[in-house]
Chain A
Amino acid sequence: MPREIALGDALVPGLLLVFIGSMLLLWGLDWLAGRYGLYRYVWHPSLVRIAAFICVFGSLGLLLF
């Protein structure tokens, strides 16, 4: 994964794309969790959501760079 990507002549850090990707991924996870009521099994849903996002983003970032 290149650390810097040219999108239409604008330099974009690769991590930004990972960030957007993780957002999309999390959105999917969030939809699943909402659909099947998984947030009932946690104490603070939004905290868990943020934490899950950091996990996804962090792992992807560490894996790809």
Chain B
Amino acid sequence: MKLASLARLVVTVLVVLLAVLIGHALWKHYMYSPWTRDGRVRAEVVRIAPDVAGLVSEVKVLDNQVVKKGDLLFVIDRARYLNAVAQAEANLAAAEASARAAGASINAASAGANQTKVNYDNYAAQSERRQKLINNVISAEDRANAQAAANAAHAAWQQAQASTRQAGAGQQQALAAVTQAQVELAAAQLNLDRTEVRAPVDGYVTNLDIRVGDYASTGTPRLALIDSHSYWIYGYFEETKLPTVRVGDKVDIRLLAGGARLTGTVESIARGITDADNPTGADLLSDVNPTFNWVRLAQRVPVRVKIDADHLPAGTVLAAGMTATLIVHPAPAR
């Protein structure tokens, strides 16, 4: 009897010990091994807004359509911008004409200058001759007159020279106006080009909120374009599990959708989350919760996981916001 009861005790204790070991292992595995049910697929989203305002004349894509970089998405009514280009072109032509006119006036001015130069030379020679005559041959008055005429001719020559320079400046002004008109044309052309809104990246059109006839104003997003090369996953890991997560660790990703299995690597770990217990109160003073948890609970910290895009199973549909389960396989300690 003694032996039997001892045996019974031993059996009990053995089973209980085994249970404690297995239970502990499971608890550790489940609570501390780095895995989380709380993973979200994320992606970079380009919010497409038109650069120019106007009526929408054409929408070239459907919602959720795949587009390549440079594909036409939608078109703003071009008429106004065509007009603007035409106007700019006309302005340019006018400027060019003025430039040409300015060139002609330079020629005229320089011809005038030559004429006054000849005049002056004539008068100057005349005056010099008169100054050289013996005094009685010519009166002093005539001598002075000749001198004055020469001086006047010189001034006229000088004036003509200045006119030439003025005409030159006028030409430069006209040339500058030409350049200005060219730039305006380029800008008008750019606006015209920008009436065609094109995809900046490869990706998927989402939330297409634009119809032919809408008025699209500058800078207001009208559709989202999800960059198809930018998918990543945020895994929200409990802080207790973080110590085993290292950048570069391999990650098994299981999407909730159909249980598709993906692989990935830990890309980075967020270095900050908000302190939920400590919002800022009035006057920039902190509003600390006066009570503390009876039982402390772990916060969750986002870990960014890069999806191994080369090994996506065929037919996997990734959508930003999907739920995923992440299991990190810690690299052996180095």
Interface: B61 (CB within 8 A): no
Q: How far is the CA of A41 from the CA of B8 in the complex (A)?
A: 5
Which of B9, B29, B35, B259 is within 8 Å of A61, CB to CB? B29
If over half of B's interface residues share one DSSP class (helix, strand or loop), that class is named, otherwise mixed; here it is helix
Pick out which of these stretches binds chain A: B17-25, B68-76, B167-175, B264-272.
B17-25
| B222-261 contact mask (Cβ, 8 Å, vs A): 1 or 0 | 0000000000000000000000000000000010100100
**Contacts known (A13-B37, A43-B12, A61-B26); A3 close to B19, Cβ less than 8 A:** no
A to B contact number (C-beta, < 8 Å): 70
Q: Is the CB of A58 within 8 A of B35?
A: no
Q: Is the CB of B30 within 8 A of A55?
A: no
Task: Determine the chain A residues whose CB is within 8 A of the CB of B256 once the complex forms.
Answer: 4, 6, 11
* Closest-CB distance, A23 to chain B (whole angstroms): 15
Task: Determine the chain B residues whose CB is within 8 A of the CB of A47 once the complex forms.
Answer: 12, 16
* Closest-CB distance, A48 to chain B (whole angstroms): 5
Q: Is the CB of A58 within 8 A of B19?
A: yes
Task: Determine the chain B residues whose CB is within 8 A of the CB of A11 once the complex forms.
Answer: 256, 323
* Closest-CB distance, A16 to chain B (whole angstroms): 12
| A21-55 contact mask (Cβ, 8 Å, vs B): 1 or 0 | 00000000000000000000111100110111111
Given A4-B254, A4-B325, A55-B15, 18 additional A-B pairs, CB 8 A: A2-B259, A2-B325, A3-B37, A11-B323, A42-B15, A43-B5, A43-B8, A43-B11, A47-B12, A48-B12, A54-B19, A54-B22, A55-B18, A55-B22, A58-B25, A61-B29, A61-B30, A62-B26
Interface: B309 (CB within 8 A): no
Interface: B7 (CB within 8 A): yes
Q: Is the CB of A57 within 8 A of B26?
A: yes
Q: How far is the CA of A57 from the CA of B259 in the complex (A)?
A: 23
Query: Which residues does B use to contact A, with CB under 8 Å?
Result: 5, 7-9, 11-12, 15-16, 18-20, 22-23, 25-26, 29-30, 35, 37, 254, 256, 259, 323, 325, 327
Q: Show 27 A/B contacts (Cβ-Cβ < 8 Å), sorted by A.
A: A2-B259, A2-B325, A3-B254, A4-B37, A4-B254, A13-B37, A41-B7, A41-B8, A41-B11, A43-B9, A43-B11, A43-B12, A47-B16, A48-B12, A48-B15, A48-B16, A51-B15, A52-B19, A54-B19, A54-B22, A54-B23, A55-B19, A58-B22, A58-B25, A59-B22, A62-B29, A65-B29
Q: Is the CB of A2 within 8 A of B12?
A: no
* Closest-CB distance, A59 to chain B (whole angstroms): 6
Q: Is the CB of B22 within 8 A of A62?
A: yes
Q: Is the CB of B26 within 8 A of A51?
A: no
With both beta carbons as reference points, the residue of chain B lying nearest to A61 in the complex is identified as B26
Task: Determine the chain A residues whose CB is within 8 A of the CB of B19 once the complex forms.
Answer: 50-55, 58
Task: Determine the chain B residues whose CB is within 8 A of the CB of A43 once the complex forms.
Answer: 5, 8-9, 11-12
Task: Determine the chain B residues whose CB is within 8 A of the CB of A48 once the complex forms.
Answer: 11-12, 15-16
**Contacts known (A3-B325, A41-B8); A51 close to B18, Cβ less than 8 A:** yes
Q: How far is the CA of A11 from the CA of B29 in the complex (A)?
A: 21
Task: Determine the chain A residues whose CB is within 8 A of the CB of B259 once the complex forms.
Answer: 2
Q: Is the CB of A58 within 8 A of B325?
A: no
* Closest-CB distance, B280 to chain A (whole angstroms): 35
Task: Determine the chain A residues whose CB is within 8 A of the CB of B15 once the complex forms.
Answer: 42, 48, 51-52, 55
